[in-house]
Structures are given as C-alpha cells and as structure tokens.
Structure 1
Amino acid sequence: MTKDQLLTRRRALLAGAVALGAAGTAGALTLGPEDGPAPVAAPAAGAQAGRPLKPSAYRLQPLTGYGTPRTRAAPLAVRHEPFLRVSGRGRTMMLTFDDGPDPRYTPHILDTLAEHGVRAMFFVCGEMAVDNKELLARMSDEGHVVGNHTWTHPLLTQMNRGQIRSEMERTSDVIEGAYGARPQWFRAPYGAWNRAAFQLGAEMNMEPMAWTVDTLDWTTPGTRSIIGRVEDGAAPGVVVLSHDAGGDRSQSVRALRSYLPELLDAGYHLTVPPRRLA
C-alpha cells in the first residue's frame, strides 16, 4: 500500500472513529509540573475577560539537566482517560502536531516556531519518522517534545493487544534512535482509546495526551477557518490539535504563521510538558 493510499484510508477511518474518540476523551484533566491530574472545568472558548496581558516573554530553551536519576522512577499509573489540558501560570497553552514528520510541511512549522521562540509537541508516526530522522533530530535540538502516535496510524479499537504493542514499541524505538530519548507521551490515532492502549502506554512509561481544541485542518477547511478555530478556542490550559502530515498541510502551515504571533501578542505562553526523569 502506497503512502497516498494509506492517507486516503486514514480519512475514511476517521469518520467512523469520531464517536469512539469522543467517548475516550470525555474526561477533562489538568497536568501540573509536579502534581498529578485533577478534575477541572472545561475551558471557555474565545478571548478571556479582563485587562489584556503583556506579550509572552517566553523564549526557546533547550531540554537540559535531565541526567540519569539516582533511583528508578516509579511505574506510571494506568489511566482511564487521557490528559486534555495543561496547567500553568497565566495564559498557558500547548500546540500539538500529528502524523509527521513530513519533509514538505514539518520544516516550515519548525521554522515558524523557531522564529517566535516557541516549543510544541509532535506526535509522530513510525512509518514517517523512520524516513525523516533528521527532522526528529532537529526537534530535539530545538527543544520540542516528541510523542508516540503508533507506526501506521491504525484504529486501535480494531486491534489485539499484541498488534498495539508492536505499533507502539517500533515507533518508540525509532524515536529513541533519532530524537535521543524514548517518548514519554502517547496519542491514540483518531482519539480512539481503549483499555489496552492505556495499559501498554503505562508499561512503556508513556502518559496519554489528547486535545481540547481540534482545528479540523485534516479536512482542509481553509486557512482562515483554521485560524478562527484556534483564536476562538484559545483559553488557559488549552491543547490545540493540528497536523503536519497525513495530506496537504499547506493550510496548516499558513495558519500557524498567522495565529502564533497573535497568541503571543495576546499574552499566551506556549509551553510543553516537563520532562520526567526516567
């Protein structure tokens, strides 16, 4: 099966997986830098009330100081729903990109992030990462966080435990070789989670991450539409889902160039999860 055929198959599967994804991401959780998850209210869409904050002072910082711990980290708890939000002071948000890396679009996204000194999360597919290892190395150099998005982007709810493990392990191996560390985050394709995915993710030291705002850029709705969804959904703790692969992502590239400086000017702090010692 060619990559173009695979991408067409993904779009077909997505329509059938929407209900599963909604059920799997029903819980709203917040992740602090030190504390565990706690239930929170869903963020309100649109601009926040009150006096506008100053533009974010955030600048790119490399991932340093993560040497080998003296004691082995405790095993991760098996969760029953993924994280949907991040916590932090003020207007903290997170940008995430799925399905890459793709040499046609990912470099442009990385360029825009670097221009504004912002880090993001990239949930990569092994079949894309294995042929574009230099892009994972660049993500590492520029301080981005890389997560596991399986090898072939399958619908996990239609697979057995052994198949899911293979999809996850192969991808983690490629990430470790190119990025320099095994991933600590996992995102189920189509947002379709099941018990095996949560259990296997914990066994592999990966926490589940979903999203709060879906740009629907995979439908290629137009650059302006993608920008509008991000701006309307912007709020403290929001996790934004976009794509840097899986089809024509030129609209996603153009949209990021527009909404990212606007978010920063509005006082939003674009962050990534803290790295755990493991």
Structure 2
Amino acid sequence: MTQHRKILIFSLALICCLIWTTPASAADPGKPYHFGFKKSRDGKLPSIAQEGFMGVLQKNEAVFLGNTNRKELYLTFDNGYENGYTAKILDVLRDHKVPAVFFVTGHFVKDQPDLLKRMAKEGHLIGNHSWSHPDLSQVNETRIKEELEKVRLEVTPLTGQQQMKFLRPPRGIFSDRMLRVSHQLGYTSVFWSIAYKDWDIKHQKGAAFAYQNVMNQLHPGAVILLHSVSSDNAQALGTIIEDARKKGYVFKRLDQLQSKTYR
C-alpha cells in the first residue's frame, strides 16, 4: 500500500470518527427539537432523559422543572389569542392569591392591552411567546431577535415591566441556536413538566377532565403549562389550586425558582 493511500484511508477514518462522536447540538445547532417528557404518575417524577435534548437544555440554562425536593408549583399560561376566559382566570388567581406568568404573542398584546395591564397590576409576570408565533428553530438569528424584541417593546409601555425574563418557544419547538440567541438576549426559556391537550377549543371536555389531568401529574417542583383559551381550565383552576394546597403545595412566581432540575 502506497504512503499516499495510507494517508487517505487514515483521513477518511478520522472524519468518520469525528462525525460519530460529535454531539448533535454541536454538529447542527439548528436541529429542531419538539419538547416532550415522560409524565409524572403515582408520585414519580417526570423525565426528559429519553428525549435526546437534555444536554441542549442544560447548556442553555432552560427550565422545565424546579426543585423536586420542595412542594412548590409554578403556574404558566400561554396566551396566543383571547377566547374570553383570561379575565376569569385572573379572577381566580386574585381570589386565591396565586401568582402566574402569562406568555403572550404579538396578537394578544395588540388585541388585549387592558388584560396585559391587569396582569401586571395584580403581580403576575409577562413572558415572551414571540410576535407572530413562528417556528423559531427555522428562522435566522436576526428574525429571532426581531420576534422577541417586538413583543418586549409593546409590552413595556403597557405594563412598566422593563425587562422580560422568560420565553416560551412557540409550540415547544426549539434548537440549540434558538436557545443560545434568546439566552444572550437575557431570556430563560421555559418548558413544562405538567401539561395536557387543553388548547383545542373544539374538543373541551369539562372541568373534571382538566382537574384530573393536572392533579394526576402533580409533583414537587412542577412547572404547569395551561392555555388560557380553554374553558375547562377556567372552570377547574380554582379547585386545582385549593386541592393542591390541601396536599401541601405552595404556588410561587417563576422568578422565585432557585434551582433547575434535569431528569
């Protein structure tokens, strides 16, 4: 075998080795991931260990779970548009003295400025859900920044909230690049450890359905995702809060989450 051929074979082997050993997030920072998790059942903690993106979330300091040694809960709502139930949800939160974070889109900001003002006045956080709800894993860095900055610039004069700290990627789709760019802008990306199919307004199943779906997944350190368009959520929220408290849980604002647990 000639020396030239030996060098060629060695070079090809080295390239193959690098391809197989380089983490996906490093090789392709634009690779999209759809957030998913193993649900909590019978007190067992939820997990993202089998989903293949734990390292990407850790690297970019994203949140999906709080301190699992404390019976603390974090309520989060996605507000893409208004369906007539957000005021009711705010009434329940006010009456039960429970804080939440509302992730809003540009459509909601322009359409519901009074609700935004009320959220801030009553002590809730306003989070960024992007201006036009695109798949942020599929757009360039400039577009990511524009999507987030538009929301911030519109929300600030309405609420006085100078710095938006939290981001929920639309539809739970993300990439290493998307998380990195938003983190550089000062955002913590927030996913969830309790959720159910509540966003389909044509298939609402009643308060008992919402109640069971949330309570069956309850666990310490839970970040709960609810959609404010759901009539089921609006009806069940008060009972969920009351019965969670009976089990010893405390509701806290997301900016009080002190530790990030990955499982």
Tell me if TM exceeds 0.5: yes
Q: Does 1:118 align with 2:103?
A: no
Regions of 4+ moved over 6 Å: none
Higher Rg of the two aligned structures: 2
CA distance in 1, matches of 2:137, 2:80: 22
Q: Does 1:45 align with 2:45?
A: no
CA distance in 1, matches of 2:84, 2:136: 27
SS at match of 2:216: helix
CA deviations 1:190-209 (Å, max 9, x no partner) are 11011332122122211111
In the alignment, which residue of structure 2 is the partner of 1:176?
156
Shift of 1:150: 0.3
CA deviations 1:28-76 (Å, max 9, x no partner) are xxxxxxxxxxxxxx8843458xxxxxxxxxxxxxxxxxxxxxxxxxxxx
SS at match of 2:60: coil
Shift of 1:86: 1.9
Shift of 1:146: 1.2
- Give the structure-1-normalised TM-score: 0.68
In the alignment, which residue of structure 2 is the partner of 1:263?
244
Is 1:216–1:226's contact at 8 Å kept on the other side of the alignment? no
Which has the larger helix fraction? Answer: 2
CA distance in 1, matches of 2:70, 2:180: 33
User: Pick from 119, 128, 142: which aligns with 1:162?
Assistant: 142
Shift of 1:214: 1.1
In the alignment, which residue of structure 2 is the partner of 1:222?
205
Shift of 1:272: 1.2
Q: 1:82 to 1:274 in 2, by over 3 A?
A: closer
- Where in structure 1 are there 5+ consecutive unaligned residues? 1-18, 27-41, 49-77
In the alignment, which residue of structure 2 is the partner of 1:244?
228
SS at match of 2:154: helix
Is 1:100–1:124's contact at 8 Å kept on the other side of the alignment? yes
User: Pick from 95, 106, 121: which aligns with 2:86?
Assistant: 106
SS at match of 1:205: coil
Q: Does 1:86 align with 2:63?
A: no
Q: Which amino acid aligns with 2:155?
A: I
SS at match of 2:219: coil
Is 1:100–1:122's contact at 8 Å kept on the other side of the alignment? no
Question: How many residues get paired?
Answer: 210
- Give the structure-2-normalised TM-score: 0.72
In the alignment, which residue of structure 1 is the partner of 2:191?
210
CA distance in 2, matches of 1:101, 1:141: 20
Identity %: 27
What value does the CA root-mean-square deviation take over the aligned residues? 2.6
